Structure 1
Amino acid sequence: MPTGANNSKKYTYVWVSLIILVFGIIFIPRIVNRLKSGSVVDNDRLANTNSLSSLSYITSNGKKRKVPEFSFINQDSTLISNKDYLGKVYLVEFFFTTCPTICPIMTQNLLELQKTFKDDEAFGVASFTINPRYDTPAILKKYAGKYGITDKDWHLMTGDQNEIYDLANKGFYIVANEEQDAPGGFEHSGAFALIDKEGYIRSRTDRYGNPLIYYRGTITERQGTNDEGEAQQITMLKEDIKKLLAE
């Protein structure tokens, strides 16, 4: 091979090495600093765009999921349907009045939200008992009085058990079952579903753009975290309710 060709290759290698060296000197410290500060995670992932500034629609088979139609009797023996909640931002929960474990905590959290939005007529709660054989309108009325449930749009509803279970398990994919070995005789989730004014299920997204879908209702703001290290989401829920009320 001619000497000139060898010299040309040497010069090429030298220039490439020099460019790499300059890049390392200038840019690598910046990247390290951004990794330390977390700004790469916060600013460089497209999935993060506006993840906390807007709320996601929950979809199924490419379609936005709406609250299924329902019609049940509330604590005042009034027939309440999903149509009564149109125009309101509300939460859905499944509970029962004799629950010895998570229900009192869930009710406490909902009472905190009732207090936060007491002056907003567009806020409501839909509580469905999963023990309708016991939880009659009279029992639900007594429960509401015991805990101080006063919001006129917080309905504690009872009705046909199969219809309620279908609403929970098939409509919301929230677990609700009669289970003899479970505390109180029933197995259920402590999740809250957030519904917008048009009846769509909404939630914020995580840092990767994935919707949370439901909010943790079994940990109070004061408690902060549970024994498993899971954080409370009531503060988050307050923020997201405000967003939907403003839409």
Structure 2
Amino acid sequence: MKKKTSYIGISFIVLIFGIWTVKELKERFKKNDLVEIGSAPRFELTNQNGKKITNKDYEGKVYVVEFFFASCPSICPKMNKNMLQLQDAFYGDLDFGMVSITIDPENDTSAVLKEHAQKLGVKHPNWNFLTGDYTYIMNLANKGFNIFAGKNKNVAGGFEHSGLFALVDKEGKIRCRKDSFGNPILYYDGLEQPGINAIKEDITLLLKE
């Protein structure tokens, strides 16, 4: 009788351990291996249609953020072109979105941004071109996302900025992959094709979470 009880006790322990293990595995693998950097900053700006857009409009969506300006003579056209690749890749997915924030709001009014978006061929309903207060946008770029942007009279166009794209998941967390040394890349190269290929792959992963 004692032997039977012992078997029952062992079976119960194995069952509990099995349930715990399955639960632990589910917790470990319900998210992929992309690194969570931190929460994306809140924002409230005006889009190309004169509508107020906030980070809440992107809740439950995976989205990409870039900082640019419409009259940029250097890297912006390439960044916008690469964002078009993302639009084409995820055109039918309403759980995906894009945010293009001007760093020259004095000139990039909603009307200017609307014309710019039309010339680019923007069709995705969740791709917003945003404008607002200059200081607010500079703080959002440099302190919120930690993506450099600023005025520089000595460069073409009067502004200089990073060509990086930020990737944000459905929970509003900035996410990224690791490099070959196991270090988080933080942001994606928005200028070269390998960076665009990488962010496409990782958007697909985040959409499945």
Q: Which range, TM-score by smaller chain?
A: 0.7 to 0.9
SS in 2 for 1:105: helix
- Aligned ranges for residues 141-156 of structure 1 at < 5 Å? 141-156=114-129
Residue number in structure 2 paired with 1:74: 47
Q: TM-score, normalised by structure 1?
A: 0.71
Separation in structure 2 between the aligned mates of residue 129 and residue 154 of structure 1, nearest angstrom: 13
Question: Per-residue deviation at 1:183?
Answer: 1.8
Q: Is structure 2 residue 198 aligned with structure 1 residue 236? A: yes
| Amino acid in the other structure paired with 1:244 | L
Question: Per-residue deviation at 1:185?
Answer: 0.3
Residue number in structure 1 paired with 2:208: 246
Residue number in structure 2 paired with 1:127: 100
Residue number in structure 2 paired with 1:26: none
Residue number in structure 1 paired with 2:113: 140
Separation in structure 2 between the aligned mates of residue 133 and residue 233 of structure 1, nearest angstrom: 31
SS in 2 for 1:183: coil
SS in 2 for 1:144: helix
Question: Per-residue deviation at 1:208?
Answer: 2.5
| Amino acid in the other structure paired with 1:233 | G
Alignment length, in residue pairs? Answer: 179
Separation in structure 2 between the aligned mates of residue 110 and residue 77 of structure 1, nearest angstrom: 22
SS in 2 for 1:77: coil
Partners of 1:54 and 1:243 within 8 A in 2: no
Residue number in structure 2 paired with 1:10: none
Separation in structure 1 between the aligned mates of residue 147 and residue 137 of structure 2, nearest angstrom: 11
- Aligned ranges for residues 167-246 of structure 1 at < 5 Å? 167-219=140-192, 221=193, 232-246=194-208
SS in 2 for 1:177: strand
Separation in structure 1 between the aligned mates of residue 198 and residue 53 of structure 2, nearest angstrom: 28
Q: Is structure 2 residue 51 aligned with structure 1 residue 103? A: no
Percent of pairs with identical residues: 51
- Structure number with greater Rg is 1
Partners of 1:92 and 1:193 within 8 A in 2: yes
Task: Give 5+ residue unaligned stretches, structure 2.
Answer: 1-28
| Amino acid in the other structure paired with 2:135 | N
Q: TM-score, normalised by structure 2?
A: 0.84
Question: Per-residue deviation at 1:207?
Answer: 2.5
Separation in structure 2 between the aligned mates of residue 54 and residue 151 of structure 1, nearest angstrom: 28
Residue number in structure 2 paired with 1:57: 36
Separation in structure 2 between the aligned mates of residue 71 and residue 237 of structure 1, nearest angstrom: 25
Separation in structure 2 between the aligned mates of residue 68 and residue 201 of structure 1, nearest angstrom: 9
Question: Per-residue deviation at 1:69?
Answer: 1.2
Separation in structure 2 between the aligned mates of residue 140 and residue 56 of structure 1, nearest angstrom: 33
